[in-house]
Structure 1
Amino acid sequence: MRVPVQKQLIWWGVALALLLIVMWLLGQAILPFILGAGVAYLLDPVADRLERAGLSRIMAVVLITFVAMLLFVAVILLIVPVLLRQATALINTAPDMIEQARAFVSARFPELLPEGGTIGTALTDLGAAMGDQLTNVAQTLLNSFGGMISAVALLVIVPVVAFYLLLDWDRMVAQIDRLLPREHAPVLRDLSRQIDHALSGFVRGQGLVILILGTWYSLALMLVGLPFGFFIGIMAAVLSFIPYVGVLIGGATAIGVALFSFWGEPVWIGAVIAIFALGQIVEGNYLQPKIVGGHVGLHPVWLLLALSVFGSLFGFVGMVAAVPLAAALGVLARFGIERYRESAFYTGQSTPSDPGPPVLVELVPRGTLEGQLREAHLQADIGRVKAGVAPQPNDRPRTPS
């Protein structure tokens, strides 16, 4: 017997509620496993390609793990210390930059910032407070991040989980497919493909865009001699997943630092502006259309909402899971909208009822029914004779005319 739709919805709702409760209760404990699963998901296409090239699955996974560990160690030893050092120096220098900007505007345009005015006082207070507050905020973020992801989880659990999941990824996907409800398996497979398309299009595509932009911005700004150029370039690239935000924040910071450092040298200030202008042109006309444009990506507003909501509900675990959950919810929302447009509530017309059970019609040669009636008549006469009852003509079954 077919399970009613209402009962199926209740079961799926209970399963979703249990998943959210588990994320809320065991967030920090399952964080390394979520990160490991994410790494395995991102690297599975590379393993498949190496398999097609002739390597066995285990050799492909070992090679990928070795290269990934080398890159990770290089980033930790070479890039992260530079980023932290330049970020701290920029935070400490920011009050002096704001004060110099205020003094310059007050000297050139005194009517904009009158002595004792609200804007001038606010800028002065901001510059005085930034040195202490930004340092405290940065230290708090670093401490909380270190508390959320321990060194053991980052260096041991995540690689081990990623290795074993990557090794068994195809078998695991096949096993999950066998567990799907048979009635809804085709729809669930199609939704899974759409979610994978959206998620891979954003994560892999946008990650490649961020890598290219980060390399360009950081190296170019360092070549022109901009202080904190490496950190500013990486920051602008990371924020580029939100259209125009990365170039605006990174460009404004870079130009502000260039004005502070290269005052009186307009050539270098113009070079900083040209670096961001060229990066924006290449990103908008080549990188985004060629790399991300072929995928159904995630709208930046939807992604920010997901990061905010899941981050506030589940902490750092929610922020890690926000991107795949946003992709899944986006696909499910589009699926629901399609079903809504096909429903009677949208069209105003009742949907046709399900057809009744089919009637089996058997085709037989002509005269079959007449022969069966004669046989029945003969058996009836024999039965009456045995019972001692004379057969009656009216009792005989009639043959069709």
Structure 2
Amino acid sequence: MSQDVGAQAEIARFLQQLKWIVLALVALWMVGLLAPILTPFVLGALLGWMGDPLVDRLERAGRSRNVAVTLVFGLMTLLLVLALLILVPMLERQVRTLVETLPEYREWFVDTAVPWLEARTGLELSVWLDPERAVNWVREHWQQAGGVATSVAGYISRSGFAMVAWVVNLVLLPILTFYFLRDWDLLVERVAALVPRDHLDTVTRLARESNDVLGAFLRGQFVVMIALGAIYAIGLQLSGLKLGLLIGLIAGLISFIPYLGATTGIVLAVVAALVQAQGFDTRLLVLVGVVFTVGQLLESYVLTPRIVGDKIGLHPVAVIFAVMAGGQLFGFLGMLIALPAAAVINVLLRYAAERYRQSGLYMGAQPTPAIVLEPFAAERATTVEATPQPPLHKGPEA
């Protein structure tokens, strides 16, 4: 009878777990469908979560919630406006320089890069750069070209609606951020009220650890990205690279993916230096290498340890996989939430590993055996115990 009751309990537990798995899959499916309209909500929630600690600090200083939210929101807006006022003119000059030097890049690619690749690979790449050959290829594959043209026209028409959607998202973002800032504590309380009481301690612990991990990533990594972008941009600009500011900012902004930011920046900077010098300028190439070496050393030994710390605990391969998988599954929204989701999943996996080590499956049904000494050690211990010991000398008796 007890076995039947145990089997029924196991079946009920399995059905309950299956129900939660199905609900999770349905939620992911809904996220995939609603990804285009969820982006401003996710960004607004992230910005609200990042600003909530400062709002709470102002509240503890005696200000009301509305006043604190208004001050923090105004500060965030002011920082954004200052960044735009400083960066937009500089980037505009950099883009204009890039457009003006595009013929030089084309000439370098056709006259230098392609012959160098042909000499080392044995491939005939220059024939594909011949305009007459390209026209003949299109004439031979006009049907496929027509299909491609139709697809491109459809993409352009859809891009118009996408542009309108982006404008709407930009208008919605500050509004959503303000409301998330104002009601963040209320949202947390309502979610906490839904947690089953017998799981409240565990959920609270996991939520606190996830909050620490996300704080280390979102706040810390954001500061590291800005710092690296500034280091690369200023260093490359001082080294004499005309596009140094643009390349440095690009390298800094994508540095949240390990090694990708520095690798991309080095490749772009080397190509820009070769085109700018119309050949090998040893001094410029050395300065580019020094800038990225100093930036990587500062990131590894100063910025990341002091600002981010080791709370994230994600391997670089896991970070790259998370970003690529998020982009493949949910597009831009997936890339936006990939690393925060991976950090939370990492916390859950650590908790699952902890529970596994405490389970009967890991510990086994038998009690832990006593520690057995090595044979020679045990023999020596037995000999010592069997040998009569002389009494301790206590001095002459009184």
Structure 2: gaps (5+ residues)? 1-8, 134-151, 368-398
Is 2:188 the partner of 1:173?
yes
Residues 198-247 of structure 1 deviation map (CA, whole Å, 9 limit, x = unaligned): 22111211111111111111122223331221121012112322333322
Mark the runs of 5 or more structure 1 residues left unpaired by the alignment: 107-111, 130-135, 352-401
TM-aligned CA deviation for residue 314 of structure 1: 2.2
* Superposed displacement of residue 145, structure 1: 11
Quickly say closer, same or farther: Cα 1:279–1:194, change in 2 above 3 A: same
Query: Over aligned residues, Cα RMSD in angstroms?
Result: 3.5
Aligned residues: 332
Aligned counterpart in structure 1 of residue 207 of structure 2, from 184, 192, 212: 192
Residue 270 of structure 1 corresponds to 286
The amino acid that maps onto 1:12 is W
> 8 Å contact 1:148–1:316 — kept in the other structure?
no
User: How far has the Cα of 1:6 moved from its partner?
Assistant: 3.1
Structure 1 SS opposite 2:197: coil
2:362 matched to which residue of 1?
A: 346
Alignment partner for residue 21 of structure 2, among 8, 13, 16?
13
Q: Tell me which residue corresponds to 2:36.
A: 28
Tell me the residue number matched to 1:204: 219
How far 1:69 moved relative to its partner?
A: 2.1
Deviation by residue 1:312-353 (Cα, 9 ceiling, x = unmatched): 2222222222222212222222222222222233333279xx
Deviation at 1:92, TM superposition (A): 6.8
* Structure-2 change in CA distance of 1:162 and 1:269 (3 Å): same
Q: Which residue of 1 aligns with 2:296?
A: 280
Deviation at 1:181, TM superposition (A): 0.7
Equivalent of 2:198 in 162, 183, 195: 183
- Structure-2 residue corresponding to 1:113: 119
Aligned to 2:395: none
For 1:126 and 1:232, the matched residues in 2 are separated by 27
Q: Which moved more, 1:157-166 or 1:310-319?
A: 310-319
Residue of structure 2 aligned with 1:257, choices 259, 263, 272: 272
Q: What TM-score, normalized by structure 1, do the two folds share?
A: 0.71
Between 12-21 and 188-197, the greater mean CA deviation after superposition:
12-21
2:255 aligned counterpart, secondary structure:
helix
What is aligned with 1:55? Answer: 63
The 3 A distance-change label for structure 1 pair 321 and 294 is closer
CA gap of 1:127–1:343, structure 2 versus 1, over 3 A, is farther
- 8 Å CA contact 1:28, 1:148 repeated in 2: no
1:182 CA drift (Å): 0.7
Q: How far apart, in 1, do the equivalents of 2:307 and 2:130 lie?
A: 41
- What are the Cα deviations for residues 367-398 of structure 1, in whole angstroms up to 9, with x where unaligned? xxxxxxxxxxxxxxxxxxxxxxxxxxxxxxxx
Tell me, in whole angstroms, the C-alpha distance in 2 between the residues paired with 1:242 and 1:101.
31
Q: Is the 8 A contact 1:102 1:123 kept in 2?
A: no
Amino acid in structure 2 at the alignment position of 1:61: V
Match of 1:398 in 2: none
Aligned to 2:374: none
Q: Is the 8 A contact 2:258 2:319 kept in 1?
A: no
The aligned counterpart of 1:331 is 347
Secondary structure in 2 aligned to 1:282?
A: helix
Distance 1:182 1:271, change over 3 A: same
Could you tell me which residue of structure 2 aligns to residue 98 of structure 1? Answer: 109
Give the structure 2 partner of residue 228 of structure 1.
Answer: 243
Corresponding position of 2:372: none
> Are the aligned partners of 1:95 and 1:127 in contact in 2 as well (CA < 8 Å)?
no
Contact 1:214/1:238 (8 A) holds in 2: yes
CA distance in 2, matches of 1:302, 1:14: 25
What amino acid sits opposite 2:232 in the alignment?
Y
Superposed CA offset, 1:57-111 (max 9, x none): 22221122222223334445553575477466487754433335437859xxxxx
Q: CA deviation at 1:125?
A: 4.8
**Alpha-carbon separation, structure 1, partners of 2:126 and 2:233:** 29
Query: Counterpart in 1 of 2:178?
Result: 163
Q: Contact (CA 8 Å) 1:307, 1:319: kept in 2 or not?
A: yes
Q: Which residue in the other structure is 1:383 paired with?
A: none
C-alpha change, 1:235 and 1:291, in structure 2 (3 Å) is: same
Q: Which amino acid aligns with 1:314?
A: F
1:211–1:54 distance in 2 versus 1, CA, 3 Å: farther
Report deviation, 1:163. Answer: 0.8
1:344·1:350 contact (CA, 8 Å) conserved in 2? no
Q: Which has the larger radius of gyration?
A: 1
Residues 57 and 167, structure 1, Cα contact 8 Å, conserved in 2: yes
CA distance in 2, matches of 1:163, 1:8: 38
Distance in 2 between the 1:38 and 1:91 partners? 38
Decide whether the 8 Å contact of 2:40 with 2:173 is kept in 1. yes
Secondary structure of 1:45's counterpart equals helix
Three-state SS of the structure 2 residue aligned to 1:243 is coil
